[in-house]
Amino acid sequence: MLTNSDALQLPRVTNVAAMILSARLPLAALFAVGSTLCGCSANPAHSSVAASAGSAGALASAGGSAGAGTAPESSAGAPQLMLDLDASMPAAAGAPIMLTGVTATEVGGYKRGDEITAGAPNPTLSVGTNDGCGVLVGVVRDFNTKDPGRHPDFEIFSGAGPTKGLVAPGLDADRKPIYASQCELMANPSVCPSGQQTTSKANFDQWYHDTPGVNRTYLLYFQMQPVGNVVSFQSENFVPMDDAGWIDEWLGLDGKMHNYGFTTELHVKFKYAGGESFTFKGDDDVWAFINGHLAIDLGGLHESRMDTITLDDRAAELGLEKGNVYPLDLFQAERHSTGSHYRIDSTLSLVDCGSPIVR
């Protein structure tokens, strides 16, 4: 079990590769991460906590549990994540760059980055020859959930449990989910136990594609927490779009107003060695694809649900061979207000910390 005292302690960053972002992004958002975090034994030389001057105490204590439905704090005094960049990087010249304003969660933390504009290049974050990632980078898309102009898939449906089969078993050419729902207006009760969950392919395709006037896309950083050979992120009040995007707020379980109605996606790569496992938890829709195959299917409107995959048990089905590198694509949607949960537990040895696909 992960304890609060473990949260927000990151290994020192070494042997890094550059992250290329849009020219709109400030220097503080440019970073690269490489560290032995998962799927391998700890390296003492790479395991010290990196903190800015005067912030070591904040890093050690910022992981306190906020409790279910309680908004984590992210004030000006929030912990600062310092990433030591390789001296060979011209922009860094060996100096540390601060990623400030990290929102502390039950395990790890998150930070919403700059908005991604149309035509911006896809950012990438690699770790070279090292295993593991201290920070993952993905994207979050915010949707309007209130009239006029409310997206028809948000703040309308409900469900008592996951609805499988809303997406196809594989991904499209852009590594996005393919709509396969039978849970529209005349929902098939045999496969749609909670009734209608979606409206159309055209509306679903907007969930994970940049669509001007429909969604707004931002970079999203997940600060992972290593404990033994497991790295985790856990937030029981996952609200990365607060005070941004459409700012269409709803009252949350914590009695505060939050901006719900968003989707997230992560695209990373791992080297399969054998013995790994991966856990994904969220609400509402949660999908994990390994090597392009649907591995975790928790789609539809539901309370927080979790599923774990042991890779060895499904290696043949997923087309995995030991020693090879494979993609892991994660998709989540928060489609109804009052609560939002997100959790990752992984023993995968990551070799790419995130390549957001922003088209």
Question: What is the C-alpha to C-alpha distance for residues 135 and 225, in angstroms, rounded to an integer?
Answer: 9
257: its two tokens: 């107003």
Task: Give the pLDDT band (50/70/90) at residue 283.
Answer: confident
pLDDT of residue 134: 83
Residue 144 has pLDDT above 80, yes or no: yes
CA dist 204 and 213 (Å) reads 15
Residue pointed to by tokens 């009252």: 251
- Integer angstrom CA distances of residue 149 from 92, 146, 243, 246, 260: 44, 7, 19, 11, 15
**Which pLDDT band holds residue 194 (cuts at 50, 70, 90)?**
very high
Helices (H), 62-163: none
Structure-block tokens of residue 108:
């790890």
Give me the amino acid identity at 58. A
Peptide bond into 284 cis (omega under 30): yes
Residue 26 CB: number of other CB atoms within 10 A? Answer: 10
What percent of the chain is predicted at pLDDT more than 90? 53
Rg, the chain, Cα only: 19
pLDDT of residue 47: 22
Mean per-residue pLDDT of the chain: 74
Provide the 10 A C-beta neighbour count for residue 160: 12
β-pair type (215-223, 109-115): antiparallel
| pLDDT band at residue 200 using 50, 70 and 90 as cut-offs | very high
The reply to whether the predicted model has a pTM over 0.85 is: no
Closest CA to 223 of 62, 16, 341: 62
Which range is most confident: 46-50, 82-86, 243-247, 292-296?
A: 292-296
The tokens 């979050």 sit on which residue? Answer: 140
- The 10s digit of each residue's pLDDT in 318-359 is 999 999 999 999 999 999 988 899 999 999 999 988 887 767
Helices (H), ranges, 138-285: 201-205
Compute the distance between CA of residue 39 and CA of residue 332 in angstroms, rounded to an integer. 25
Q: Look up tokens 């195959």; give the residue.
A: 293
**Does the pLDDT at position 67 exceed 90?**
no
What does the pLDDT look like over 77-108, one tens digit per residue?
A: 333 343 333 333 333 333 333 456 899 999 99
- Taking 3-state DSSP, the helix, strand and coil percentages for the chain, each rounded to the nearest 5, stand at 10, 35, 60
H/E segment holding residue 220:
strand 215-223
Q: Within 13-165, where are the H helices?
A: 56-61
Q: Give the DSSP letter string of 251-263.
A: E-TTSSEE---EE
Nearest to residue 8, comparing CAs of 234, 308, 190? 234
CA atoms in the 13 A half-sphere facing the CB of 51: 16
